[in-house]
Amino acid sequence: MTQQKRQKRAISGWIILNKPYDVTSTQAVGKIKWLYSAKKGGHAGTLDPLATGILPIALGEATKTVPHVQDGVKIYEFDLKWGSTTTTDDVEGEVTATSDVRPTKDQLEAVLPQFTGVITQVPPAFSAIKINGERAYDLARAGEKVDVPPREVEIDAFELIAHGQDLSTFRVTCQKGTYVRALARDIAESLGSKGHVSRLHRAAVGPFTDDDAVTINEIEALELHERDAALRPLNDAVGHLPEVALDDRQAQLVRMGNPALLIGRNAPIALDEAYATYKGEMVALGFVEKGQFKPSRVIVAS
């Protein structure tokens, strides 16, 4: 007797996963989708398999809000292992060079301002960046020489948390597109040494932090109705945008993709970006022009 196929559900919301070590972001999304029997899911920014920490996973209609999380500020905590560089700039790769130079705490703190603000970095060869339509890591694994073009990234804050003879711990706040492995490599090089990332943890992505995170084991321990209750609302992803509260008639218009005239003394006249709600639930993403809310992405009611 064959097992009955699981029925997929049109369920929507966010799970802020504390991704475990040695699990890919794609595998993590697949596991969460399976646990929720969700029809659709995705994540807001790839996290290296050997990294742990915040992987925001969007189910159903929450996938429409992914860019607002993905483009948010990131916070990473990482250990820099002194003495060697690797092909991957982390512990997974083969050692390519070594050095006996070990910088002092004062030397490290003195160089950090050079890596704060808008800087130029060359992402690791083992990265998801596309070169001539192919992922850099696929080319690197195939043994090809990979020349990844430099890019500008923005580092908001860089702090040395602890320093020892062979290991230093940092906390970095940065914008989208920053490669921590490249930061570690370049800091070591700037001090005449070699180094690579031996531990990487993402502590925040956009509005979500470690305090919001749950583990796969914690979700597995819940009954299905409890899992549903653990989902975070779509609104949590767009709290940085102005909220436009609609009445019943306005919500009906917007749900059909039509603009809705906003009335009242405090109704906005123009907003570049906003989200509309009806009785607290998100109805659409859009903007306000000439006193009308105009939807760009309508949220299908569950």
Residue 272 annotated among the catalytic residues of the structure: no
Report the distance separating Cα 70 and Cα 135, nearest Å.
20
By the 8 A CB rule, do 284 and 271 touch? no
**Which residues have CB under 8 Å from 68's CB, separation 6+?**
206, 237, 238, 240, 241
Catalytic residue from among 22, 48, 100, 212: 48
- In 3D, which of 77, 48, 93, 122 has the Cα closest to residue 196? 93
By the 8 A CB rule, do 88 and 126 touch? yes
Report the distance separating Cα 231 and Cα 234, nearest Å.
9
Buried b (16+ CB within 10 A) or exposed e, 171-201: ebbbeeebbbbbbbbbbbeebebbbbbbbbb
Report the distance separating Cα 221 and Cα 301, nearest Å.
28
φ/ψ of residue 9, rounded to 5: -115, 145
Tokens of 198: 């031996």
Report the distance separating Cα 122 and Cα 182, nearest Å.
7
Length of the chain: 302
Active site residues: 48
